[in-house]
Structure 1
Amino acid sequence: MDAPFSAWPWDNLGVFKYLLYGPFVANVLYSRFQEKDIKQSWCLHILILCGLRGLFHVLWGSYSNMLFLTRNRRILQQGVDFKQIDSEWDWDNFLILQAVIASIACYMFPFLENLPLWSTRGVIAALILHVCVSEPLYYWVHRKFHGDYLFAHYHSLHHSSPVPQSFTAGNATILEHLVLSIVIGIPILGASMLGYGSASLIYGYVLIFDSLRCLGHCNVEIIPHQLFDTFPFLRYLIYTPTYHSLHHTDKDTNFCLFMPLFDALGNTLNRKSWQLHKKISLNSGKNGRVPDFVFLAHVVDVVSSMHAPFVFRSFASLPFTTRLFLVPCWPFALVSLLAMWIWSKTFLNSSYNLRGRLHQSWAVPRFGFQYFLPFATEGINKQIEHAILRADRIGVKVISLAALNKNESLNGGGTLFVNKHPNLRVRVVHGNTLTAAVILNEIPEDVKEVFLTGATSKLGRAIALYLCRRRVRILMLTLSSERFQNIQKEAPADCQSYLVQVTKYQAAQNCKTWIVGKWITPREQNWAPRGTHFHQFVVPPILSFRRDCTYGDLAAMKLPDDVEGLGCCEYTMDRGVVHACHAGGVIHSLEGWTHHEVGAIDVDRIDLVWKAALKHGLKPLSSNKSIVNCKISE
């Protein structure tokens, strides 16, 4: 049984907890339409203040996760994983609690409803009360919460987050936030009872209080050490993110609210505080750890661009889908993307650790449709080339190209860059060998005939050549007899008869295994017989039009269980699942292979890459027994 006041009363309500704001909204509407005096509605101010406080936490969280700005200022280098995100999912519970407390205070102290806009004396009074009452009270209570019983039943939740972020500041039990409400309320209520209260004081004190709490938990050192070198006394008046992070790693030190002075007086000041702060501040201008592997992604569209950890961390931790709350954010996302497009060639999107190696995702700020504009080809290739040369310059071992970044018509699957820069130390990888292996793994062993669209593409060619060696008949949809014949000539002489050119979808009306490498319309899908399964490697995926058929997902694999710091989903993939081309680059890095994987797929390496993926703990999403597991007959 949980200890009293350790769980939130609305824990089981989920998203419906926000209905608790309903009475406040009702009061505002009543004041507007019945009393015609909405300005005097204290409920309106409570709602506005709650909205602003939530926004402050979100903005601080966004800044913390902007790795392209903060990677060299981060205090703890590991990423925020799914476990921490889930633990902090209801970080905003305290806003509901303090909204209720504020409403009770307004009812008990009617003078709070008619405060002036500004009072200088009120600011001075609140500052004195904060320093003399709130700071020492919080320090004393905080130390009590680190006692065995209180820590185990109440405070351990707050310390369960390995990487502090702004949302960690709100992630605590109801008892802790009741105490924190008293700490916040003393300066405001005290100044108001002295006759010096004001609306500006309430808004200003609460928002500054939250900002300082977020500052301490942001995991990014933004206060320059030169400030403390010039004015040494300031280090006792304001804490830093480094200072508070030490409290999360050394729980017996640095208990203060915002002023280290009280830790100094209480003999709980961590002696490493100033040295570590100076070290991190000095290192902010230097390059951080070089990643071993980089996955070069790209933006699909404006809406999906918001599926990034530095926009909405919780949204990014779930598979992408368009949601209504994204619609109002669309203009801001578009402006941000255009700014990145103009000023940046690539930006760091996320990172994780695997087997002690740092893996990062960089993104090219280009929309998906731009890849199909002939006049944009040169500009896109320049951005990709810049990313490859940058990776080569800083010492990255492997860079893997995502989806459209390795488009055959764009750069020959990366061949353009390898040929142009023959002395590259970084290995350029398109990852399609593993993509082919994943698709082949999904095909049951008893299949004797498949219908293949996109048959002469890079993946289509490899799939066709592999399956024909297994004596599977492949109906290759293509209008180009020359390209078909070139592929047919690559097959062993005794297997060439299994490759059959077809030019119409009608040819597959009796084939129940379709491998789709080129987008097909619902009308074209109608030629498939009932019970057909559509395997696919086409971007974007085809529409699931047929209810009497089944549709496979894009080729993907689940990363090993020992991956660390992964807290965002790759587009529509589930947690811990990445596109096969991404996984192919990971395997290239883990195996330490020294060749470039560009251009045409080496069919003879499909089994090798697949076995390497399984050896390193990557898991296929399909439970079908794989045709790939069988060795190709000579």
Structure 2
Amino acid sequence: MEAPLSTWPWEKLGSFKYLLYGPFVAKVMYSRHQEDNIMATWCLHVLILCSLRGLIYQLWSSFSNMLFLTRNRRIIKQGVDFKQIDKEWDWDNFILLQALMASLAYYAFPNLVNLPIWDLNGFMVIIILHIIFSEPLYYYFHRCFHGSYLFKHYHSLHHSSDVPQPFTAGHATFLEQILLGAVIGIPILGCYLMGYGSVAMIYSYILMFDFLRCLGHCNFEIIPHHLFLAFPFMKYLIYTPTYHSLHHTEMGTNFCLFMPLFDVVGNTLNPKSWDMHTKASIESGKNGRVPDFVFLAHVVDMTSALHVPYVFRSFSSTPFTTKLYIIPLLPLSFLAMIVMWLYSKPFLNTFYYLQGYLHQTWVVPRFGFQYFLPFATEGINKQIEQAILRADKLGVKVISLAALNKNEALNGGGTLFVNKHPNLKVRVVHGNTLTAAVILNEIPKHITEVFLTGATSKLGRAIALYLCTRQVRVLMLTSSTERFQKIQKEAPAEYQKYLVQVTKYQAAENCKTWIVGKWITPREQKFAPAGAHFHQFVVPPVLPFRSDCTYGDLAAMRLPPHVNGLGSCEYTMERGVVHACHAGGVVHSLEGWTHHEVGAIDVHRIDLVWKAALNHGLMPVSSFTENH
């Protein structure tokens, strides 16, 4: 049985909970026609405050997740996983609750509407009231909630988050947030009753309260230790992220709201607090742990560029689709694109741990369309080269190139960098061997004929050579006889007859297995017979035009369940799923292979790489494979 007031009254409403703001909006709209001064309405102030409060938490969350800025300052090193994100999904419940509490305050104290805009004395009074009432009251409540019964039924929810985040500050039970509302409200009401209340005072106090809560939960040290060296008394007046993180790891200490002074008085100060803070501050300029593996990704377009943890964490934690609320942010995405052109250094996007190895994703600051601009080729290659050299200098073992970063026309599948820098210690990997393995293992064993587009590409060549040795007839769509014959000669003599050049889609009218490596239009899909299945390794994937045919997923693999710290989806992939080329780099790293995987695919290694991936717990995700 649930404890009283441990769950939220609107818990089952989901996103419809925001309709509870409706009466406030209705009141504002009504006042627009009935009153001369719309700013005089209490409801308008409540709505503005709620919006600003949400913005503060969002901006702090964005800053906290900008790993390219904060990675060396992080206190708890592990990443925020999907489990924590889902737990904290409704972190903003307390803002709605306190909006409703504010509406009750309006009816109890109607003169609150008539407060002056500004009263300087009120700022001093509310600081004093905060120190006298809010700080000790919060400290007392907080210690009580760490008692056996209250912690188990209420406060354990807050501590269930492994990594403190700004949103973690709002993640608590209904009862706790009611009491927090009282802690915030007492100084405001006290200031009002003493005649020093003002609109600016209310705004400033509430927003600063939220700002400091986010500061304590941000999980990266931002306050320099020099501040406490210069002004020793300050360490009793303001807590730090390191100070508060100790409460989450050693819960019997550091209970204060914002002022460690009350932990000193209550004898609950963690003796490591300031030594840890000093160490974290000093080491913030040093590089932390070197990743074992780096996946060098790139931005696809301006919309998907917003699918990163430091924009909206919740949006990033689900497979990418274009959402309506993302559209207004496109100008910001365009501005980011311009900044990325100017600041060309690859930046860290996310990280996770697999079997104790640290894996990071770096992002080349170039959008997808730029890869197809002839004049941009040199600049893009230079940025990829810088990323590889940076990884080499840091001591990274393997760096894997995402789709367009290894484009054949761009850099020969990575051969450009390996040839230019023959003494690289970091292994450069395009991951296409595992991509080929995923596609080939989707194809049912009984198939005797396939139709292959993109037949002379790296993947097309490898797939054709592999299948012909299995005595599968491969119809290779290509207009270049020279390129076809070059591939055919690579096959053993007894299997060359299974490779057949075709120049038109009509040649596949009776073939039910299509392997698409080059984008095909709906018109071209019409040549496939009913019941055909389209396997594909083309980006973007083909449009599912035929209702009487089936369409495969892009080659991808699911990471093992013991991966931790992963909290964002890779483009349109499901949670815990990565593109096969990404997974190929992971396997290369875990196996400790010392060769570069660039240029043409070694067909003889396809089965070896596939078995290695399965041995490490990676699994294919194709629905076609599951059904066949």
Q: TM-score when scaled to structure 2? A: 0.99
In structure 1, distance between residues paired with 2:45 and 2:514: 60
Alignment of 1:571-590 (within 5 A): 571-590=571-590
**What is the one-letter code of the residue matched to 2:184?**
I
Q: SS state of the match for residue 614, structure 2?
A: helix
Q: Does 1:378 align with 2:383?
A: no
* Counterpart amino acid of residue 96 in structure 1: L
Report the counterpart of residue 130 of structure 1 in structure 2.
130
Q: Deviations over 1:490-530 (max 9, x none)?
A: 11111111111000111111111110000111111111111
C-alpha contact (below 8 Å) 2:296/2:362 kept by paired residues: yes
Give the distance between the partners of 2:341 and 2:312, measured in 1 at CA.
21
Alpha-carbon RMSD across the aligned residues, in angstroms, is 1.2
What displacement does 1:623 show?
6.0
Measured in 1, the distance between the counterparts of 2:181 and 2:490 equals 74
The corresponding residue for 2:285 is: 285
CA distance in 2, matches of 1:185, 1:360: 44
Within a 5 Å distance, the mapping from 1:155-304 to structure 2 comes to: 155-304=155-304
Report the alpha carbon displacement of residue 446 of structure 1 after superposing the two structures with TM: 1.3
Give secondary structure in 1 for the equivalent of 2:72: coil
Identify the residue that residue 64 of structure 2 maps to in structure 1.
Answer: 64
The separation in 2 between residues aligned to 1:75 and 1:297, in whole angstroms, is 26
Kindly indicate whether the alpha-carbon contact (under 8 Å) linking 2:452 and 2:515 is maintained by their aligned counterparts in 1: yes
Q: Deviations over 1:312-331 (max 9, x none)?
A: 11100000000000111111
Deviation at 1:36, TM superposition (A): 4.5
Unaligned 5+ segments in structure 1 are 630-634
Deviation at residue 615 of structure 1 after TM alignment: 0.2
Aligned equivalents of 1:604, 1:319: Cα separation in 2: 34
Residue 340 of structure 1 deviates from its aligned partner by 2.3
Query: Is the CA contact (8 Å cut-off) linking 1:514 and 1:534 kept in structure 2?
Result: yes
What is the SS of the residue equivalent to 1:215?
helix
Partner deviation per Cα, 1:405-455 (whole Å, 9 max, x = no partner): 000010000000000000000000000000000001111111111110000
The offset of 1:37, in angstroms, is 3.5
Q: CA shift at 1:625, angstroms? A: 6.0
Q: Which amino acid aligns with 2:155?
A: H
Query: What is the distance in 1 between the residues matched to 2:80 and 2:9?
Result: 27
Secondary structure, counterpart of 1:494 in structure 2: helix
Sequence identity of aligned pairs in percent? Answer: 74
Shift of 1:341: 2.3
Deviation string, structure 1 residues 251-277 (Cα, Å, up to 9, x no partner): 000000000000000000000000000
Offset of 1:344 from its aligned partner? 3.1
For residue 33 of structure 1, report the CA deviation from its aligned partner: 2.6
What secondary structure is seen at the aligned counterpart in 2 of 1:29? Answer: helix
Instruction: Measure, in 2, the Cα distance between the counterparts of 1:259 and 1:401.
Output: 48
**CA displacement 1:188-219 (0-9 Å, x = unmatched):** 11101111100001100000000000000000
Once the two structures are superposed, what CA deviation does each residue of 1:527-572 show, in whole Å capped at 9, x if it has no partner?
1111111111011111111111111111000001111100000000
- Measured in 2, the distance between the counterparts of 1:568 and 1:133 equals 41
Counterpart position of 1:10: 10
CA shift for structure 1 position 34: 3.5
Query: Offset at 1:343?
Result: 1.5
Give the conservation status (yes or no) of the 8 Å contact 2:72–2:284: yes
- Contact 1:351 1:359 (C-alpha < 8 Å) held by counterparts: yes
Aligned with 1:71: secondary structure? helix
In 2, are the aligned partners of 1:303 and 1:326 still within 8 Å (CA)? yes
Is contact 1:554-1:579 (8 Å) kept? yes
Distance 1:10 1:546 in 2: 43
* Other-structure match for 1:29: 29
Three-state SS of the structure 1 residue aligned to 2:61 is helix
Unaligned runs of 5+ in 2: none
Asked if structure 1 preserves the Cα contact closer than 8 Å seen for 2:247 and 2:254, the reply is yes
Normalising by structure 1, what TM-score? 0.98
**Separation in structure 1 between the aligned mates of residue 624 and residue 37 of structure 2, nearest angstrom:** 67
Code of the residue aligned with 2:429 in structure 1: it is: V
Residue range with higher mean Cα deviation, 295-304 or 338-347: 338-347
Look up the SS of the partner of 2:400 in the other structure.
Answer: strand
- Aligned to 1:495, the other structure's residue is in SS state helix
Tell whether 2:398 aligns with 1:398: yes
Give the Cα–Cα distance (whole angstroms) in 2 for the partners of residues 498 and 35 of structure 1. Answer: 84
The DSSP-based 3-state class of the residue aligned with 2:326 is helix
Per-residue displacement from partner, 1:448-468 (whole Å, max 9, x unpaired)?
111100000000000000001
Please tell me whether the aligned partners of residues 80 and 565 of structure 1 are also in contact (alpha carbons under 8 angstroms): yes
Q: Secondary structure at the match of 1:228?
A: helix
Distance 1:248 1:232 in 2: 25
Could you tell me how far apart the structure 1 residues matched to 2:558 and 2:21 are?
40
**Alpha-carbon offset, residue 624 of structure 1:** 5.7
